Amino acid sequence: MSNQWVIAGGVIALITVGGLWLRLDTVSAERDAAQHAQAVEHAESLRRQRVIDTLNHSLEQLNEQQQANGRELAELRAAASQATQTAEDLQRENRAIREWANARLPDELARLYQHGPLTGTAGYRDYLRDTRAVRTARRTPQGQR
């Protein structure tokens, strides 16, 4: 019987070693799977971080562009306001010029336009003898105007 016990002990030891070997193989496979999952998760984490960095960079660029657009819009509004003011000033000025141009000339100036061109000294002498010549300006006492 002692042989049987040795064989039974050997079989039990063999089964135990086989079970431990299978368990070790299972644990090793689980460890490899966990390491692979960790590597995949790390790679995914790096990819997500690159996406976040890219989005942050894009956001910074958009903010800078928005600020530049705001400054440009303010400059354009100022230029438009200035152009509107200039147009209004020109309209007022044109109206004043039209009113002045349409106003009747004083008689003295109108007579200057009515005579013909002066040709030679004889024409000039005749012009000077004209009784309708432009009168000289009257002098006013100082302090009165």
Q: How many domains does the chain have?
A: 1
Is pLDDT above 50 for 144? no
Q: 10-14, 104-108, 128-132: which has the minimum mean pLDDT?
A: 128-132
Q: What is the pTM of this model?
A: 0.41
Cα distances (angstroms) measured from residue 120 to each of 37, 48, 116: 115, 100, 12
Confidence of residue 107 (pLDDT cuts 50, 70, 90): confident
Nearest CA-CA partner of 35 in 25, 24, 46, 27: 27
34 is a domain residue: yes
Percentage of the residues of the chain whose pLDDT score is greater than 90? 39
Residues 57, 59, 65, 70, Cα dihedral to 10°? -150
Is pLDDT above 70 for 139? no
92 is a domain residue: yes
Confidence of residue 132 (pLDDT cuts 50, 70, 90): low
39 is a domain residue: yes
Looking at per-residue confidence, does 93 or 57 come out higher?
Answer: 57
What's the angle, vertex CA 136, arms to CA 135 and CA 140, rounded to 5?
Answer: 125
132 is a domain residue: no
Task: List all residues 6 or more positions away from 112 whose beta carbon is below 8 Å from its beta carbon.
Answer: 134
What value does the mean pLDDT of the chain take?
83
Q: Write the DSSP assignment of 29-51 as a string of letters.
A: HHHHHHHHHHHHHHHHHHHHHHH
136 is a domain residue: no
2 is a domain residue: no
* pLDDT for res 131: 59
13 is a domain residue: yes
Q: Which domain holds residue 37?
A: 7-116
* pLDDT for res 143: 47
* Per-residue pLDDT reduced to its tens digit, 73-90: 999 999 999 999 998 888
Q: How many Å apart are CA 37 and CA 31, to the nearest integer?
A: 10
* Per-residue pLDDT reduced to its tens digit, 32-62: 999 999 999 999 999 999 999 999 999 999 9
20 is a domain residue: yes
